[in-house]
Structure 1
Amino acid sequence: MTVETSPRRSDATRAAILEAARRRFAEDGFRKATIRAIAADAGIDPSMVMRYYGNKDGLFDAALDVDLQLPDLAAAEPDSLGELVAGRFIELWENPPTADILFTLIRSAVTDEAVVERAQRVFAQQLMPAVLRVGDPGDAPHRAGLIASQMLGLALCRYVLRLPPVVAMTHAQIVADIGPTVQKYLTL
């Protein structure tokens, strides 16, 4: 029976560590977050964090692993692409665990080159392939860059700087206002 419960306990411990790490990295940033604080938040001994993730860099990398699960734009109605993308990004920014991951990415990228590289990988491995599925593949990097600038600018103003007029917008308002701009970028 111990053999059966051990993997479940291990999975639960890993999940608790990642949840605590995402919160702590989002609140404190990479430099100020400590393994001890993360372990305390997870209710475990710090040695367990080290056992599963090796060091703070390994934990940070695991905590920031994000799958954007962007919609298949080639299968969507052509006139709804911008709304789909804008809506998906708002969902990601407003729901755990991706909200903490994306907040940490945007906040930490300003001061940490390793985080910049992770953000660039997300762009190259997830946003670019989605954009390549619609429009001219030759200008997909340009279009994807414009979409990233739009969505990251919105995220910075809404979730990091918390500008009151942007924070006050509803999900539907954001999609209605930003969707047409993203649509334009997708169909340039």
Structure 2
Amino acid sequence: MPEHREPAAERRSDRTRAAILRAARQHFTAQGYERTTIRAIAADADIDPSMVIRYFGTKERLFDAALTVDLRLPDLTAVAPGDVPAVLVRHFLNRWEGDPTDDALLMVLRSAVTNDRAAERAREIFGVQVAPALAAVIGPEAAGRRAGLVSAQLLGLALTRYLLRLPTVTALTPDEVVATLAPAIRETLGLGG
């Protein structure tokens, strides 16, 4: 049976769409929704602004597409309960320190302060992804009550380290962040010492 190959035009279309989303996320992260322009996104994607409109229709629809975030949380069922807080902190540090300009989660966080749609999406992301991951470790009832507080701690880390860049927080090594923040998350989850 012959192998099915994707037409060149479709591959090119996928690459263009990905380039637009990458540029959009970088602009929304750096400048927020209000100050980001279709022209700037198109320039960074090395395309005509009309192509952005062709693929996404409006800036709002492009923003919605850019707001799609998979936290890529690790499977916590294979982690000893006492190690879960450190695993979570390290997971988010690795994401943000890998390439913070291409992390849609930071874009959502920055935009959520001034944009209702981004705030709604942030609530969805953490509500739908964090609580179920924690439920595997602490049970569904406890996870439902505590996921928001764990999210607050992790989002507070993102805000102070990557967006506000508080010197006392940015000066910490990843190991120091894990050693300092994991015990607080452990208490929040009710996992004890």
Common fold: TM-score over 0.5: yes
Helix, strand or coil at the partner of 2:7: helix
The one of 157, 182, 185 equivalent to 1:182 is 185
Q: Supply the AA of the counterpart residue of 1:47.
A: S
TM-score (norm 2): 0.89
C-alpha deviation, 1:97, in angstroms = 6.7
Report the equivalent of 2:140: 137
2-structure distance, mates of 1:93, 1:5: 34
C-alpha deviation, 1:94, in angstroms = 1.9
* Number of residue pairs matched by the alignment: 186
Distance 1:153 1:126, change over 3 A: same
TM-score (norm 1): 0.92
2-structure distance, mates of 1:145, 1:95: 25
Alignment of 1:71-90 (within 5 A): 71-90=74-93
Distance 1:47 1:99, change over 3 A: closer
1-structure distance, mates of 2:68, 2:142: 27
1-structure distance, mates of 2:167, 2:77: 36
Gaps of 5+ in 1: none
Contact 1:36 1:46 (8 Å CA) reproduced: yes
Gaps of 5+ in 2: 1-5
Helix, strand or coil at the partner of 1:134: helix
Q: Supply the AA of the counterpart residue of 2:119.
A: V
Q: Supply the AA of the counterpart residue of 2:67.
A: L
Contact 2:26 2:101 (8 Å CA) reproduced: no
Helix, strand or coil at the partner of 2:137: coil
Report the equivalent of 2:115: 112
Give the % identical residues.
51
Alignment of 1:163-182 (within 5 A): 163-182=166-185
Question: Comparing 94-103 with 58-67, which one deviates more in the overlay?
Answer: 94-103
Contact 1:81 1:186 (8 Å CA) reproduced: no
